[in-house]
Each structure stands twice: as C-alpha cells, then as structure tokens.
Amino acid sequence: MKKLFALLFAVLMFAGVQAQQKSDLPNVTIKNLQGKDVNIAKLSNNGKPFVMIFWATWCGPCIKEHNALDEVYADWRDETGVKIYSVSIDDSRSTAKVKPFVEGKGWDFEVLLDTNKDLARAMNVSNPPYTFLFDGKGKLVYQHSGYFDGAENDLYEEILKVVGK
Amino acid sequence: MRKQILTLLLLVFSGVQVLHAQSFLENSSVNGSFQTDAQYYMLDKGIDITDLNGKSFGINGFGKVSYTNGNFSAGMRFEAFVPELNGFRKELNGLGIANFYATYDNGFLGVTVGDIYDQFGSGLVFRTYEEWSLGMDNALRGVRTIIRPAQGVTLKGVYGRQRFYWAPYNERDFSNDDYRGIVRGVDAEWDLNQSISSMNNSDFKMTLGGSFVSKKQSDQSMFYNIPENVGAAAGRINLGYGRVAFSTEYAYKINDPSAINNFIYKEGRALLSSLSYSQKGLGVVLQVKRTDNMSFKSMYTGKQNDLDINFIPPINYTHTHSLPSMYTYSTQPNGEMAAQFQVNYTIPKGTVLGGKYGTKLAFNYSQVNDIVRDSVKFGNEMGLNQPGTLGYTSKFFAVSDHRFFRDINFEIDKKINKDWHVTAQYINLFYDMETIEGHSGAPDVKANIAFLDVSYKINKRQSLRFELQGLWENKVHKGYEYEESEKKDYQKRGDWVAGLVEYTITPHWSFSLGDKWNYGNPVPEFRDHYFTGSVSYLHDATRVMLSAGRQSEGVVCVGGVCRTVPASSGVSLTVSTSF
C-alpha cells in the first residue's frame, strides 16, 4: 500500500514537472496583524511584483534583513511598485509580541502571522529567514535562503528584472 | 486505519484525475525540500570525550514533496535517522515515510486526511507541529474537517492518533510501552469584524473562540484507575481598539493522572493573557500566564515532550547569541506563574540620539515562579502530590517564592553610518538549574551577560562581523568551593568569554572562526576552549554549511521546547535545498 502511494506520487510529480505557467501561491489561510484572514492564493499587488519573507522575532539575521529592507523600501516602492509581505512564524509564545515588535522597530511591511507554520510548511521553508519573489501574476521567480549583509541588492536586481527595468 | 486512509487518498486522487484530466497538467505545481544534517564525531580528551560508544557519525535527513492543484494538495515527507545525531531521541533511529497528507479546500469546506498539523487558539488544549531541529513531531494522523459557514466563522474538527517516533498507527503494542490513545477535538472561532458588516471597518476588533479536546486511552495500569476519557476545554477572546490589543485564553482539563504529574487526580487549569500598545516607533507588551497541572498527552506514561496534545508557551525572551542562550528556560509542565514585559522603541531619525538612521532600543523583563501548592487530605492523612490522590490545592493568584527563572535585559541597535552597525545587549539572569535541568543539588545560576555585535561593510560585496560576549556568574566562579563528589555538576559553570569573526562575501560565501572559553570554571580541568570554524555557501534556495570544532554541552530550544546536546567534537555538515 505504501509503495503504491509512493508510485502514485512519483507519477504526480512527473505530471507536475511538465506543468505550465501557473500561480505558485498555496491555498493556505493565515491572519494579518489586524486578525483578519488572508488567503495566500489570492495575494496580489495590482499586477506588480511582491516579496514574501519568512522571519521570527527570535531570529537575528531576519531582523538584520528587515532593518536593511526598511531603509530601502520606500525607494523600491517608488521605483518598481514592489510590496513586501513579512510572514512571522512566531508561535503562540510570541504571537502577541509581533505587532508591538514590528511597530517598535518602525517597519512598514505588510505583516502576516503564520502561527503554526502552515504557510511555511506549504512553501517548504525550513529555516528563517527565507525570501520569495513573485511576479505580478503570482508566479515564483526567485527564492533565497538565509541573509547575508547586502543580499537585498541582489533581491532588488531580481525585482528590476521582473518589472523590465 | 491506515489502509482506510490510503484508500480514501487513492479515491481522491483518481477522482481528481478523471474530473480534471485536462487542467490537471496545466494548473498543477510540485515543490519540495531536502535537508541533511550529518556529523562525524571524534575523540577529544580535552573536553572529556574518551569513548564514542561505537558511534562515529550521525545523520538526520528529510525529503518532502508536495503537489498542489487549485483546491487540492497532497504531500509526503521521508525521514532518515541513520543513526540519529547525538542528543536526539534514540527512538528516532530508522527511516521511512513519516508523514503524508491530502487536502481539499474550496473555501467553504476543507478536508485533510493523513498527518495533520493544527492549533486551536494559542495551543493550550491542542497543537500539533513539527520542529526538525528538535526531532519533535506530534502530528495527528487521521482526519480534519474545516467548515467556514459564514464570513468570519471557522469550525474545525480533528480526529486521529499522534505520531510516536516510528511506532505503527494501526496497532498499539502495550508490551512495548505504546499506550497511545485517540485524540478528538473541535474548535470554533468567530471574528465579529469580518462577520458583521457594520463592524467591518470599525476600530474596535473582537474575535471569540472556544475549543474542546478529548483523548480516549486504554487503562493498562496495575496501580491506578486511569480515566479512559479525558476532556479539556478552552475559551478565548481577542479585543483590539486602535493601538491597544488584548487577548486572553483560559483552559480547563479534567483529572488526568500521568507519569508527568506523578499520577495525581487533580484537574488542570491554564490562563494566558496579553495586553499591548503599538504605534510607529513604539511597542509595549505585557504578558501573564498561569498554568497548573496542564500537561496533556495522548499517552499517560509519556515522558519529556512525547505525545503532547497541547502546547504551553513559555513567555520569556528568546536569546540568539551563544552565551545568553546557554541558560534557556523551558516550560515546567506541572505549574508556573509567569510574566513578561517588553518595550521596543525607535529614537526617530534626525534627532540628537537618533542620528541619521534612528536608534532602536529594547527592554525586556521576564520572570517565572512556581505556583503555591497546599496539601490535601487522603484517608486520614494529609499529603502533597501523593500519587493516587487529588495531589494538592492551589490558590489561583498565589505566587510561590520559588523562582525558576528571571531575565532582565536591555538592547541597543544602532546603525552608525553606511558601513558600521552595532548591537549590544546586557542581561541579568537567574536560572534555577536544579528544577529546569533536573540536576539535583546544582546551585542556581545568577549571572550578568553582555554581548557586542559589530558589523562592518568593506564594500558592496564584502563584510565583516565581530561578536564579543561574556558571562559572569555571581557565585560560582574560580575559587568557588565545591564538593569533590559533585565535581561533574560544574561542567560549563562559572565565567565564560566568547569571540567570533565572520567574513561574508555576498551573495554566496561566509567564513567564521570562533572560540568560547570557560575560563572561570571552579574546576580547573573544565576550563576548556571550544573552538569552531565554519564555511557556509548559499545559492538561491540551497544552503550548505560545513563546520568543525567543539560543541559544549547545552540545550537547544525552539519554541520553548528543548533538547539537550551532549558535548562533542568533530565535523558537521548541513545541506538543505528546496524547489
């Protein structure tokens, strides 16, 4: 029975590899900082690209990355219209802290709460920080694990490619 | 059970195949990830590793794939522990398909069969999750149904049996200590702002929720009369008004004698509340928690983190640098009174103290004490926590003088100019090692800890980072008089300094060299250096890290759940990627 399942899966995988253009956003519903449900499959940015970054309040490199992005975000928005969704994987020990934390840091990103890592699991994120870039149609064009100083410049080059600049 | 699930899966699959043969190929996507953590262990007399017990390497690895097609998704995860890394539970040794699921969700109705991860409210009565770095996975294998009958209303039901390492789900083996029961739960949540049109854009936010979870277990005890059904219920409310938010959850569990609570027949209670204020540049949060006998496992003989049905979140600050995180608090399942207060403030740009980039400040105070327990009468005697009795009574708001943990810290994070960035933190720590780590007789850790973390950008591509850390214990340090027979309890105690240099070439390479030195250990032979060196390579979704050196004995914690890592010496490699 297990083998059959594995075989079936292999077939599905093969089918998937041949798949064409599609949205790469999973059908997962999580909450935003206002407590409102957000269905990730319906995320969009008026046809402009958007970035999704997984992070946590206890993750040092994540905070560095957010601080670095915060400095350039206003310029990026003016130049490309890009939007950043910042997905916190903080669990219930720190969910209540996310909003005051984000506000206290003065960040302007759209923050989503992935309290039990449903979205992280669906997108195969094992360790934060993890960055995804989607084009205006929700197709995944770039992803990056981890954060090194200055890596935001590479992300921006990818964003520029998407908007054709 | 498993056969039935698989048959159902097949039916769902074939149904999708037939109905959507055309769109199937066009709209589907497949993604997945792999990770391998391997370590080669070596003898190292310097830190007292004189025998590897026949184990010279360990490998933990997983590979997962998931398939999505519109409202349908399915996936599975293969795991291998061949053998498991030191510090992980021996029961993990083995390999196979650890997890699979299929989900259909059209927005109104969602059904998942297979391994389920979910959480009701803050998790006080139900949370299943997976944490690779801890080898922790309490997935519920069974069925979950989600119904959203109206905007803002979510109803959930779960049914199944939890993962217990590699033990089969369809047959329990009592002779092999597999006493797992069935877990059933329902949860309802009502978000008034999404549900009531006049409240849609209101500044006032309100969400109500409630859950009920029960386990059905088999009484195999020779000494106690174990209840075969144990129920737990919780209610929660989230309120918000403008910049202020308040949330609280209260949980109650009927008597649930177990190995964790010493087989007492007392009910369990938990309360978790938080109040916060946020505006741009300032965030303040106060959290309080009271738990009393709230360990809830689907196996009454379960130990440590095995088969937890619920999750009791610790509410202290999570440190990330190596010395501050050496003494990390882990939740005491039998009772706690805890509070935390945190402020994040950014001194605005363009002010004297804020400078060109602003200055970020953070303050945190967290403390955990025991609850107060009073003896109860059984027969003609009075007793405290005696197995087979009601255990104790406890006043709800009483706080015991027995302090488990306290952390007061202050952080400053400052970008000085476009090349230099500095983060510094001071921490005053109290840590009851005897209770938290179970080292009987170990003196409390009272320490001052500080670190300085400096980054310097050499140019657009290259940067350097320096870390300097120190930990100074008030009582246990050089010259502290210890009992010769208790010498081994002083491993890693006393004063430490640590340093690290990291050189990064963005976007791919990072090299680091570091040392931790237990220079102030009261026992001269424990005054060891722990050198480590590492190379990391990042490329898009791929991460490779090779490191070599000594690892000190310690505790790795994620989400307040911890595992102990034994001291080791050797070479380790982590490779992870996703597609």
Is residue A4 one of the residues assigned to a domain?
Answer: no
- Closest chain B residue to the Cα of A100, Cα to Cα: B283
**Per-residue pLDDT reduced to its tens digit, B303-325:** 888 999 999 998 888 888 889 98
**pLDDT given for residue A162 in this prediction:** 93
**Per-residue pLDDT reduced to its tens digit, B375-407:** 999 888 899 999 999 999 999 999 999 999 999
The residue segments making up the domain with residue A40 are 24-163
| Residues of chain A contacting residue B97, judged by C-beta atoms under 8 Å apart | 2, 5-6
Asked if A99 and B245 come within 8 Å (Cβ–Cβ), the reply is yes
Q: How far apart are alpha carbons B528 and B518 in whole angstroms? A: 6
Asked if A99 and B119 come within 8 Å (Cβ–Cβ), the reply is no
B307: Cα separation from own chain's centroid: 14
B503 touches chain A (CB under 8 A): no
| Residues of chain B contacting residue A39, judged by C-beta atoms under 8 Å apart | 107
Q: How far apart are alpha carbons B422 and B357 in whole angstroms? A: 12
| Residues of chain B contacting residue A99, judged by C-beta atoms under 8 Å apart | 245, 276, 278, 283
**pLDDT given for residue A20 in this prediction:** 39
Q: How far is A116 from chain B (nearest CA, A)?
A: 6
Q: Which residue has the higher pLDDT, B264 or B70?
A: B264
Residue B387: asked if its preceding bond is cis (omega within 30°), the reply is: no
**B-contacting residues of A 66-85, CB under 8 Å?**
67, 71
Q: What is the DSSP string of B222-276?
A: SSS---SEEEEEEEEEEEEETTEEEEEEEEEE-----TTTTS----EEEEEEEEE
Number of structural domains found in chain A: 1
- Closest chain A residue to the Cα of B504, Cα to Cα: A148
Q: Tokens 């979510």 map to which residue?
A: B154
**pLDDT given for residue A126 in this prediction:** 79
The first and second tokens of residue A48, run together, are 């402009």
Q: Which residue has the higher pLDDT, B483 or B266?
A: B266
Is residue A10 one of the residues assigned to a domain?
Answer: no
pLDDT-based confidence at residue B115 (cuts at 50, 70, 90): very high
Q: What count of CB pairs under 8 Å joins A to B? A: 239
User: Which residues 6+ apart lie within 8 Å of B193 measured at CB?
Assistant: A34, A35, A36, B152, B199, B200, B202, B205, B206, B207
Q: How far apart are alpha carbons A67 and A63 in whole angstroms? A: 6
The ipTM value here is 0.87
The first and second tokens of residue A65, run together, are 């990355």
**Per-residue pLDDT reduced to its tens digit, B530-563:** 999 999 999 988 999 999 999 887 766 665 566 7
> Residue B440 pLDDT > 90, yes or no?
no
Question: Which helix (H) or strand (E) covers residue B98, if one does?
Answer: strand B94-105
Q: How far apart are alpha carbons A109 and B381 in whole angstroms? A: 62
**B-contacting residues of A 17-46, CB under 8 Å?**
17-20, 22, 24, 26-27, 34-37, 39
The DSSP 8-state label assigned to residue B11 in this structure reads H
Q: Identify which of A16, A117, A150 has the shortest CB distance to residue B461.
A: A150
**pLDDT given for residue A18 in this prediction:** 40
What is the share, in percent, of chain B residues with pLDDT greater than 70? 94
Asked if A35 and B240 come within 8 Å (Cβ–Cβ), the reply is yes
Mean pLDDT, chain B, as a whole number? 91
> Phi/psi of residue B519, each to 5°?
-65, -25
A164 touches chain B (CB under 8 A): no
Asked if B320 and A99 come within 8 Å (Cβ–Cβ), the reply is no
Classify residue B114 as exposed, middle or buried by CB count within 10 Å of its CB (0-12, 13-18, 19+): buried
| Residues of chain B contacting residue A143, judged by C-beta atoms under 8 Å apart | 540-541, 578
Q: Which of A126, A137, A140, A141 to mutate to test the interface with B (most CBs of B within 10 A)?
A: A126
> Residue B565 pLDDT > 90, yes or no?
no
> Residue B156 pLDDT > 50, yes or no?
yes
Residue B507: asked if its preceding bond is cis (omega within 30°), the reply is: yes
> Residue B281 pLDDT > 80, yes or no?
yes
Phi-psi region of A77 (alpha: psi -120 to 50; beta: other; left: phi over 0): alpha
Pairing relation of β-strands A83-88 and A50-55? parallel
**Per-residue pLDDT reduced to its tens digit, B478-534:** 989 888 888 888 988 999 999 999 999 988 999 999 999 999 999 999 999 999 999
Report whether A154 contacts A69 (CB < 8 A). no
Of the candidates B109, B193, B92, B196, the one whose C-alpha atom is nearest the C-alpha of residue B157 is: B109
pLDDT-based confidence at residue B171 (cuts at 50, 70, 90): confident
Q: How far is CA B504 from CA A148, B180, B463, B511, B533, in A?
A: 7, 49, 5, 6, 14
Q: How far is CA B102 from CA A19, B67, B132, in A?
A: 19, 9, 21
Of the candidates B146, B139, B285, B27, the one whose C-alpha atom is nearest the C-alpha of residue A37 is: B146
Asked if B506 and A149 come within 8 Å (Cβ–Cβ), the reply is yes
CATH code of the domain covering residue A138: 3.40.30.10
**Per-residue pLDDT reduced to its tens digit, A15-51:** 444 443 457 888 899 999 988 899 999 999 999 999 9
